[in-house]
Amino acid sequence: MRNCSETPRRRRFSCALPFHPEEQHPMYQHELARSGEALFKIRGHYLTAVVIVGAMIAYHFRAIGPFATESANQAWFWVSLAVASAGALIRIITSGFAALGTSGNSKDAPVAAELNTTGPYSLVRNPLYVGRILNFTGIAMLSGSWVYGALVFLISVIVYERVAVFEEEFLRTQFPEAHAAWAAKVPFLLPRLHGWLKPKYPFWVRRCIRRENKKLFWLATALLAYDFARRGFDFGQLPENPVWYYAWAVLALVSLAIHLLRRFTKTFADIS
C-alpha cells in the first residue's frame, strides 16, 4: 500500500489519482463502488457507442488523421491501430491465462472462483480493463480525431476505475487476506514493470475464442465502418475489389458460427 501521509500536499495529490482508489477516503470509495455497480451492468454497450460516434466523426471530417499531410495521417492511422490492437492483445493474454470461473463477461454480478494473482495479474490488478481502455482509445483514434481519442480515453478511465472498484469490493469479501496482500504490492490500473509471476494455469485457446472474438470483430467493424463513412456511406464509392470488406464478411460469419456453437452446443460449456 502506498504511503499517502508523507505531507498533506502529497496526500491530496496522490490520493486524487484514479489509479489508487484504495487510498481514497472509505466514503468516497463506497461512492465509486456504487456508481461502478450501475456501470458494470451496462458496460457492454460502451464499445457500440464508441464505434457509432466514431463513424459519425469519420463521415463529417472524411480524414484518417487530424493532420494536414497524408504521411502524417497515415502514421496516425497505424499508431491508432497499434493502440487498439495492443489493448486486444492484453485482453487475449489475460483471458487465456486466467483461472476458470473468473474474469467473466457476466452482466449481473462479479464472479470469482479464485483470486487471479499470476500472469498479467502480477503486474496490474485489472489487466482486462487496461486492455479495454487501450482498445477503446485506439478505436476512437481511428476515427481520425485526436479530440475524440482523448475524450474516450478519459471516459474509459473514469468508467472502468469505478467498475473495477465495485469488483474489488466483491473480491475483498471473497478473499480478504489474499486480496489485501496482493493489493499491497500490485497497482490498480497503471501496470508496474517488474514482479512478473509465471501464470498458474496453461493458456486456454478455446476460452480466448469464446471470450474475445466479439472484441476483435468490433475492431474490424470499426475499421470498416469508418472507411465506409469516409466514402459518404455510398456503395458506389467502394473500390472495385473491396478485399477488406470481404474479409470483414468472413470474420462476421466466423463470429456468428462461434455464437451459435456457444448457444446450441457444448463446445465451450466447460470453459467459463
- Look at residue 263 in the predicted model and tell me its pLDDT: 85
- Look at residue 150 in the predicted model and tell me its pLDDT: 98
- Look at residue 272 in the predicted model and tell me its pLDDT: 60
- Look at residue 97 in the predicted model and tell me its pLDDT: 92
Phi-psi region of 193 (alpha: psi -120 to 50; beta: other; left: phi over 0): alpha
- Look at residue 120 in the predicted model and tell me its pLDDT: 96
- Look at residue 206 in the predicted model and tell me its pLDDT: 86
Please report where in the chains the cell 463513424 appears, as a residue: 55
- Look at residue 230 in the predicted model and tell me its pLDDT: 95
| pLDDT tens, N- to C-terminus, the chain (272 residues) | 444 444 444 433 334 445 556 655 565 566 666 677 667 777 778 889 999 999 999 999 999 999 989 999 999 999 999 999 999 999 999 999 988 777 666 666 677 789 999 999 999 999 999 999 999 999 999 999 999 999 999 999 999 998 888 888 889 989 999 999 999 999 999 999 999 999 999 998 888 888 888 888 999 999 999 999 999 999 999 888 888 899 999 999 999 999 898 888 888 776 66
- Look at residue 3 in the predicted model and tell me its pLDDT: 45
Cα gap 167→4, rounded to integer Å? 23
Say which residues have a Cβ less than 8 Å from residue 87's Cβ, sequence separation at least 6. Answer: 130, 131, 132, 133, 134, 135, 136, 137, 138
Cα gap 194→122, rounded to integer Å? 9
End-to-end CA gap in the chain: 32
Closest listed residue to residue 94, CA positions, set 173, 232, 2, 212: 212
List the chain domain ranges.
Answer: 8-264
Q: Flag whether the pTM goes above 0.85.
A: no
Say which residues have a Cβ less than 8 Å from residue 85's Cβ, sequence separation at least 6. Answer: 138, 219
Q: Are 20 and 2 in contact (CB under 8 A)?
A: yes
Cα gap 61→156, rounded to integer Å? 24
Cα gap 205→218, rounded to integer Å? 20
The three cell numbers of residue 104 are 467473466
- Look at residue 75 in the predicted model and tell me its pLDDT: 97
